[in-house]
Chain A
């Protein structure tokens, strides 16, 4: 029952190969047309940092889409709202003072006026984080309840959130600040979600980052070889050794490439740890756990899933609860990166996450999809975005190309499924 074939490997990894080819293409184009080096550490780092939110939201969107092609349109607006709430409680502002400041009636220019005597204290960072997660849980629970138990179609329930939270977030920001944005976030809060670990100056090889990369590469190689050894020991079919080694070499190459780029750019970006953490956790959930399997089953055939003893409603509820928590993390990452909560934060984030999933081969009808696929999809869109801007293509054209890529990915998915059936 050895079913290894090079053709299948290539077929499975079409998108990954496309990502490499397109990346190298843009590296060449950028150098030729504008003389920009896309392999420059700062360019690579900014590619990752700019797209951090897509990876995090993509993981949540994947879980929603697995349950049957369901999406969450409220993600972007909730990023704005959560950012505004974090700002509201962590930075001194008008709204906080109005609620919690000490006011006295004083005579100013002969008129009796309410005057702020003592400004309200912003909350400490841990409490702010608790509040942020709290509103995420609350919104997720309400949304999940409406979708799973009241049976409101997901796109309608989340469309309501899309409208309401953009308004609510903007309202908080305009009331709290005359500039319609909250900035000057406390350093401790920012450091949790942005900046670099053990920062060194630019161009100097950052040792902790390098060591971290080495450890990660070693771990990946160890896990791959260990699981293959386990399979052989128990007598199951395993991929040929040559293929596994080639796979390890490629993975190590990618990890070390990124590590060196980060190390030369002042150190490991904090946000990378968040991305890796989220991706590993959700990768394990979707691939290795019963809960992940239940998500796929509900999306694959809801009725079969129900008759197999799975609680479909609970799965739907958890999908949206989970999405909201990841949205809060994305909001913190985005707010920390820009250092400000804006009313236009998070615009079209939901669409970026959905596009990443679709390009990454997640079924638009539910039931199948992987975290790795989503990551490749997100990276592909990110590379196209950055590459075209560096080459100097107009923003409008970038949108047109992204639209076409999305369409092509779906057509490819459907066609390749048809091909499978014929065999």
Chain B
């Protein structure tokens, strides 16, 4: 048995109100590729942040034993000194610097005061060759594609003398060919350099292709570690570990809701990425939603769900948008969020702090933000009426706050989510697109949000609920669309849906790709 390089023992990490990691154990042997899989929010990234010192010693409980000694990392520099290098999902490269400059950022070559550029570029070229990149190290980052940028990140990590490389969703922004090239590079590094690697991925076909061992993380705990070398682990087997959770009565029932005519219909909807204009983020998507109906869209992160929602909502995301949008049976073109709101659409963002709420403003002001006209005469705001509206919604949604004058930034996540919902409910839309409406909020608040969703459906609104939590999608929806890699890969009634057959839809697509690739490699 090979030497154990890394051991993480009973790691527990709590954030205010949430236990992100609960007694997690992880063992990685030298020279293996170890995969971490699990649903969004299961705690994979938190675990890796603990390991790399982003969450310093003292902010968590438990031990990290690396290379035979107990480690106390205070910051990322400490862990890098030991050879633990993390490559984050979002590439951290500076576009207007050369590959060489980027590779040695914070690790500049030369004397203390003066950078030796010849050495820098010579070293850079050496590592680029190792990762199989033929571009000159003097090329600007902006001039190479994302696939190559990912390789630069790996070269950069190698330049730091990495012994343990952590890759967080390395292929999430890559196409099939580039992904496969990256995975093959990982295998090559393992074989030739004896590199130990931890990969976090949602793409199960990739995991079973590249990984020696697979650890499943669920709800902040490590569930099991599967050995991919001794017995071939099927994707279905991994899924079983990922989602093996019972749906209890965490979801309030909807009674006597009449599902009416089709309210919104999207046909052949295709959207391209605003920066990488050759990449489709939505590919020929067709969905519809009826009044009084809750339609769930399930998909893993990066499947194109948010992109779909935002592109429908007045083209607020993406370029080259094509396809038909029908509201109440009539074709309509929405060119701005303003037009979308006027047409009766609401998009309740997944990122409430980033683009949903104005944190420095009060509950009052946030509530009326999307429908100021509703409390104004001409341009003058009727502040008494505005106050009344804000108080009404605080009561209706049971938002916990001392007053409506409270700044939204001071509220808890669940209460912020309620303010965000209030804002869009007051805009009085016919169709509400809720993007991850319960992300990052506690169980009690989740239940209240579900009740609000039910009330909306009862009031005859159409609700599209985007979520990456399977139980939530199954428990709350009337009908479910399953989205994967920019496409709708399945549609089913909630009554027919199980966690397994939804995951099967996703695997179905990637499985095909897998077998196709398999044939390719044989030939």
Contact = CB atoms under 8 A, between A and B. Distances in A.
Contacts of B402: 1, 3
Nearest to A236: B387
A367 B358 contact: yes
Interface in A188-246: 230-231, 234, 236
B346 to A, nearest CB: 10
A296 interface: yes
B54 interface: no
A288 B385 CA distance: 12
Interface in B315-363: 316, 336-338, 340-342, 347, 349, 354-361
Contacts of B44: none
A368 B387 contact: no
Interface stretch (B119-127, B207-215, B376-384): B376-384
B259 interface: no
Contact of A309 (B355, B356, B370): B370
Interface stretch (B174-182, B195-203, B235-243, B404-412): B404-412
A288 B381 contact: yes
Nearest to A296: B361
Interface residues of B, number: 40
B373 interface: yes
A421 B408 CA distance: 10
A311 B372 CA distance: 14
A291 B341 CA distance: 18
B384 A303 contact: no
A367 B360 contact: yes
A307 B316 contact: yes
Contact of B381 (A289, A304, A367): A289
Interface in B381-407: 381, 383-384, 387-388, 391, 402-403, 405, 407
Interface string A274-301: 0000000000000011110110110011
A363 interface: yes
A321 to B, nearest CB: 17
B369 interface: yes
B153 to A, nearest CB: 27
A308 B410 contact: no
Given A289-B380, A307-B316, A309-B338, A368 B360 contact: yes
B373 A290 contact: yes
Nearest to A311: B338
B358 A304 contact: yes
A15 B337 CA distance: 40
Nearest to B355: A303
Contacts of A293: 365, 372, 381
Interface string A348-387: 0000000000000001000110000000000000000000
B313 interface: yes
A296 B380 CA distance: 15
A300 B381 contact: no
A301 B358 contact: yes
A305 B365 CA distance: 12
B361 A367 contact: yes
Contacts of A415: none
B357 A421 contact: no
A309 B336 contact: yes
Contacts of A305: 358, 369
A180 B341 CA distance: 57
Contacts of B373: 290
A187 interface: no
A307 B391 CA distance: 23
Given A290-B372, A301-B355, A309-B336, A3 B405 contact: yes
Contacts of B376: 289-290
Given A230-B384, A290-B376, A301-B359, A307 B338 contact: no
Contacts of B337: 306-309
Contact of A236 (B360, B361, B384): B384
A35 B369 CA distance: 56
A296 B410 contact: no
Contacts of A304: 354-358, 369
B313 A307 contact: yes
Given A293-B372, A300-B359, A309 B410 contact: no
Given A236-B387, A309-B336, A291 B379 contact: yes
A293 B382 CA distance: 12
A423 interface: yes
B308 to A, nearest CB: 15
Contact of B316 (A3, A289, A290, A306): A306
A131 B259 CA distance: 64
A420 interface: yes
A3 B410 contact: no
A300 B361 contact: yes
Of the listed residues B361, B403, B405, the one surrounded by the most CB atoms of chain A closer than 10 A to its CB is B361
Nearest to B349: A307
A300 B360 contact: yes
A303 B355 CA distance: 5
A61 to B, nearest CB: 19
Contacts of A307: 313, 316, 337, 347, 349, 355-356
Nearest to B410: A421
Contact of A303 (B314, B354, B372): B354
Contact of A423 (B379, B381, B391, B410): B410
A301 B370 contact: no
A309 B341 contact: yes
Interface in B279-331: 313-314, 316
Contacts of A300: 358-361
B410 A420 contact: yes
Nearest to B341: A309
A343 to B, nearest CB: 40
Nearest to B358: A300
B486 to A, nearest CB: 22
B408 to A, nearest CB: 10
Contacts of B349: 307
Of the listed residues B314, B373, B379, the one surrounded by the most CB atoms of chain A closer than 10 A to its CB is B379
Contacts of A234: 384, 388
Of the listed residues A289, A293, A294, A311, the one surrounded by the most CB atoms of chain B closer than 10 A to its CB is A293
A303 to B, nearest CB: 4
A421 B409 contact: yes
B361 A288 contact: no
A297 B356 contact: no
A310 B373 CA distance: 12
Interface in B248-276: none
Interface in A243-267: none
Contacts of B361: 296-297, 300, 367-368
Interface in B9-50: none
Nearest to A306: B337
A301 B403 CA distance: 22
Interface in A138-175: none
Interface string B393-434: 000000000110101011000000000000100000000000
B369 A308 contact: yes
Contacts of A294: 372
A305 B337 CA distance: 10
26 contacts: A1-B403, A3-B403, A3-B405, A234-B384, A288-B383, A290-B373, A290-B379, A290-B380, A293-B365, A296-B361, A297-B361, A300-B359, A300-B361, A303-B355, A304-B354, A304-B357, A304-B358, A304-B369, A305-B358, A307-B347, A308-B337, A309-B314, A309-B337, A309-B338, A368-B361, A420-B410
Interface of B: 313-314, 316, 336-338, 340-342, 347, 349, 354-361, 365, 369-370, 372-373, 376, 379-381, 383-384, 387-388, 391, 402-403, 405, 407, 409-410, 423
Given A236-B388, A309-B341, 5 more contacts: A3-B403, A293-B365, A296-B361, A307-B316, A307-B347
Q: Which 8 A-B pairs have the closest CB atoms?
A: A300-B358, A303-B355, A309-B338, A308-B370, A301-B358, A309-B341, A290-B372, A289-B379
Interface of A: 1, 3, 230-231, 234, 236, 288-291, 293-294, 296-297, 300-301, 303-311, 363, 367-368, 420-421, 423
